[in-house]
Structure 1
Amino acid sequence: MRRAPELPDADFERWRQLLEMRAGMVLDDRQRSFLQIQLAARMRELEIADYDSYYQVVCAGIGGRIEWVRLLDRLTIQATRFFRHPPSFALLEAYVSEFARTTEGNGLTLWSLGCASGEEAFSMAISTAEALSRQPRPLTFALTGTDISSEALRQARQGTYSLQRLAGVPASLRERYFRTHADGSFEVTAGLAERLCFARLNVLELGQAPLQGLNVIFCQNLLIYFRRWLRRDLLNQLVQRLAPGGLLVLGVGEVSNWSHPQLVPVDHPEVLAFTRQVSPPA
């Protein structure tokens, strides 16, 4: 494999500014090598010799917008897995169970923000389905997963995973919510998959997302890519998407010294979460 050409300082700065402006992603010098490798790989595919020429392609018209999406697919690869942070999903099950016991509504709406290839969204769906299956009255739910990567969303919509990628799923849940293919892969059952939809969303365009009155929002391992002021701005917008009494679950350590007058912190030693007050604060 050919070594990626060195990314000059001026080009690194220009690409870094473009990524922050268009996607909110903040890269520091530690990610320089990663950026260089991903840019060079795409340049080889397009037979483009230098970083400046590729930059011009990405910034040019409709074709540039299409190429930008393809580049983002490379740059937003996330290490993810089913039930990545078990305490968060245990909290979700407890919340759904309490919701079912105390609320007169017929169902819940949930959002996985930065869902990548679907593992988090399907984990949320399984946890919700399990909690609802134990309730005396029938309730349903709908879950939306959004991500900036078109390739990740393609995988999520397919809903098919290898046994290795299902390592975090207990055997009993695997038997209940997946069906086995002849090649040894596992596909999410139709009954569960029909509860989910996946859509592309750049979080910088959060205001355009037609999601309101949500009972649960998961936003984990996403805010780390953004500047502190942008994290707070995004969180404030998410609060407005929550229904009164709704649950917001964040990644532990992703935000500090942030509060909102409409939110109450969840008292949990392993999960960073908040609920929206049912009545506005006095």
Structure 2
Amino acid sequence: MLGITTKEFCQLAAYIKANYGIHLKDEKRTLVTGRLHNVLRQNNFRDFSEYYEYLLSDKTGNAAATLINKITTNHTFFMREVDHFNYFKEKVLPYFRGRVKDKDLRIWSAGCSSGEEPYTLAMIIDEFFGNEKMWWDAKVLATDISSNVLEEAKKGIYKKEEISTLPARWRLNYFEKIDNEKSVLVDRIRNEVIYRKFNLMDSTFPFKRQFHVIFCRNVMIYFDAPTKSELVNKFYDSLEYGGYLFIGHSESLNRDETNFNYVMPAVYRKE
């Protein structure tokens, strides 16, 4: 396996930080070399310096897309941090049901990975509104920086063990068996999630209207403090007053640097 020098690692880490916000500490050197080894070998690069020059010179965007697909860790599962979903169902949806007069409920799953989070939100929304759902526009925007995971998420196909944590009624009502090992979400739920490739480091967010709810869980653990603070402020500006931000339980907000109000562990509100 090709090794990476300190200079090469620092160059690559600085590029990733500047473009994607991900802060790679020195202990990630082995991870970086392991995940990029095949990229260098397949393109006959002699070392990481040559690869870095290629990355900078490529105007197609393909090199950068390959890099981020290799570097990002996309680990998630259904019902992760389940208390968030319970709060969303029991508190957030009843609140907005009575206050969103145009019935346009805007929810964003940022860093959606392979789709478990936005699909869970879509199933909760479907069950909550029931027959009323036909009158609501409550599609979930799901974004990620990795095109690979977005393509997988769009398929809505999951292994038996991956959906085993879901309520039995959901597995019955919202999934169709492909075979003994895999099931696919019904179109009614898959069509409620809109997938888009999106970089949270973009200087401005392109959304025309503010969101009522933003889920961005276990994403900011990869960012340093200034990057995280800047992103949180952009989330604040992207929310309606009364809107909620859900982050990961391993994450927290510095209350001296944000206008968000603390609601419960890893849940904040714009008030």
TM normalised by structure 1 equals 0.88
| Counterpart amino acid of residue 8 in structure 1 | T
Paired position in structure 1 for 2:254:
257
2-structure distance, mates of 1:253, 1:84: 12
For 1:52, the equivalent position in structure 2 comes to 49
| Structure 2 contact 233–258 (Cα < 8 Å) conserved | no
| 8 Å CA contact 1:180, 1:186 repeated in 2 | yes
**Aligned residue identity for 1:147:** D
Q: 2:79 maps to what in 1?
A: 83
The match for 2:24 among 23, 27, 30 is 27
Alignment of 1:63-74 (within 5 A): 63=60, 65-74=61-70
Amino acid at match of 1:143: V
- Note the 1:94-173 alignment, pairs <5 A: 94=90, 95-133=92-130, 138-173=135-170
Q: CA RMSD in A?
A: 2.1
Q: Which runs of 4+ in 1 moved over 6 A?
A: 134-137
Q: Judging changes above 3 Å, is the alpha-carbon distance between structure 1 residues 10 and 189 closer, same or farther for their aligned structure 2 residues?
A: same
1:107/1:72 CA distance change after superposition, 3 Å: same
Shift of 1:126: 1.4
Taking only the aligned residue pairs, the percentage that are identical comes to 23
Seen in structure 2, the aligned counterparts of structure 1 residues 195 and 17 have a Cα distance that, compared at 3 Å, is same
Distance 1:20 1:122 in 2: 29
| 1:115 partner SS | coil
Are the equivalent residues in 1 in contact too, given 2:65–2:146 (CA < 8 A)? yes
* Paired amino acid for 2:267: A
C-alpha distance in 2, partners of 1:92/1:131? 10
Query: Hey, what's the Cα distance between the residues in 2 that align with 1:148 and 1:128?
Result: 25
Deviation at 1:155, TM superposition (A): 0.7
SS of residue in 2 equivalent to 1:70: helix
How many residues get paired?
Answer: 270
Provide the residue aligned with 1:182 in structure 2: 179
CA–CA distance in structure 1, aligned partners of residues 117 and 44 of structure 2: 36
SS of the aligned residue for 1:129 comes to helix
Q: Which runs of 5+ in 1 are unaligned?
A: 278-282
8 Å contact from structure 1 (residues 163, 185) kept in 2: yes
Unaligned runs of 5+ in 2: none
* Counterparts of residues 240-251 of structure 1 (less than 5 Å): 240-251=237-248
| 2:234 aligned residue | 237
Q: Which has the larger displacement, 6-15 or 94-103?
A: 94-103
Aligned residue type for 2:194: C
CA–CA distance in 2 between the matches of 1:248 and 1:103? 17
Q: How far does the alpha carbon of each residue in 1:133-176 deviate from its partner, in whole angstroms, 9 at most, with x for none? A: 28799544111000000001111111111112223322221111
SS of alignment partner, residue 40 of structure 2:
helix
Q: Secondary structure at the match of 1:187?
A: strand
CA contact (8 A) 1:132 1:138 kept: no
The AA in structure 1 aligned to 2:48 is: Y
